[in-house]
Amino acid sequence: MTHSSSSPASASPSLADLRSEIDRIDEAMHRLLMERSEIIDRLVQVKRTQGAEGGSAFRPAREAEMMRRLVERHHGLLPLDTVESIWRVIIATFTYVQAPYAVHADLAVGEPAMRDSARFHFGFTVPFVPHMGAAGVIEAVAASKGDLGLLPAAIGTLPWWTQLEGDGAPKIIARLPFVERADHPAGLPVFVVSHPIADAAVREVRVYSLRVSGWSARAGHALPAFAETLLAPDEALDGAALLVSLPSGHQVDEVLEALKGAGAGIRAVCEVGSHAAIHKVNV
């Protein structure tokens, strides 16, 4: 007759064992971050030898794909908010290491919400420069070597997007938060602007500045549902200035025809950037 007994191998781990495992993981994460920094240093050296030094270090398309993969593989007790912020800060900080930049932000829409967005997405290493109004943000980005600007994606703001018209003007390269959910801790919708980066831009959503005369409630109702639109008065035209974001598969001509059919006159159309499609999650 045999007797069953618990072996040491099957015993539950002690608190000391579990804390030792946590320390091992923490050290491994730190070493991996340092290894990542070494690779970034080599990347900078390769850029230098290939004559690419001084080019933009921002890669919106790559960042969007990284964040999508992160959301899709995430599970467990750790909140998605924490994981998203950690990765955003890692990306932003290593971009800063490659080519230092500052983040300029318009605080006119509310200082706490805009600061939360900047810190959540860029951390504390990247310098934060406040402005009271979008014009100062855009002017600072235009005058810089490679800074970013955060501008409100909110109804009721002045038509700051008209300053993005023209080939040499700053352009929209991203919309934040990229991972969108109802309880996002930094949920203020903002556009990110920078010097044009055509080689690294993501074109899933194209953004246009429209100037329209003869604006009316009828014209507003005629805007297609697929077009995300910001609207501001344009006193010079006795009409309106629109910022229209169009998802893949739609053209700006669809919006123009709808507005013309509602009696509005199209006075100017200019593409002012693009960004990745927002990744929406239900929690």
Q: Does the pLDDT at position 53 exceed 70?
A: no
Q: Return the number of other C-beta atoms located less than 10 Å from residue 98's C-beta.
A: 19
Q: Does the pLDDT at position 232 exceed 60?
A: yes
pLDDT tens-digit series, residues 235-248: 777 789 999 999 99
3-state secondary structure of 38: helix
Q: Does the pLDDT at position 261 exceed 60?
A: yes
State the pLDDT at residue 182. Answer: 84
* b/e code 183-214 from CB counts within 10 Å (16+ = b): ebebbbbbbbbbbbbeebbbeebbbbbbbbeb
pLDDT tens-digit series, residues 58-84: 889 888 999 999 999 999 999 999 999
The domains of the chain, with CATH numbers, are 56-201 (no CATH), 206-275 (3.30.70)
End-to-end CA gap in the chain: 54
Tokens 């194209």, residue located: 206
Does pTM top 0.85 for this prediction?
yes
Q: Does the pLDDT at position 7 exceed 60?
A: no
Summarize the chain as % helix, strand, coil (round to 5).
40, 25, 35
* b/e code 136-153 from CB counts within 10 Å (16+ = b): bbbbbbbebebbbbbbbb
State the pLDDT at residue 11. Answer: 75
Q: Does the pLDDT at position 128 exceed 80?
A: yes
Q: CA–CA distance from 147 to each of 50, 100, 139, 150, 181 (Å)?
A: 23, 8, 11, 10, 28
Q: Does the pLDDT at position 30 exceed 80?
A: yes
Cβ-contact 227, 200 below 8 angstroms: no
Q: CA–CA distance from 222 to each of 40, 157, 264 (Å)?
A: 49, 21, 10
Percentage of the chain beyond pLDDT 70 is 93
pLDDT band at 218 (very low <50, low <70, confident <90, very high): very high
pLDDT band at 56 (very low <50, low <70, confident <90, very high): low
State the pLDDT at residue 71. Answer: 92
pLDDT band at 200 (very low <50, low <70, confident <90, very high): confident
Least confident residue range of 14-23, 197-206, 225-234: 197-206
**What integer is the mean pLDDT of 152-167?**
87
Q: Output the six-digit token pair for 156.
A: 């009721």
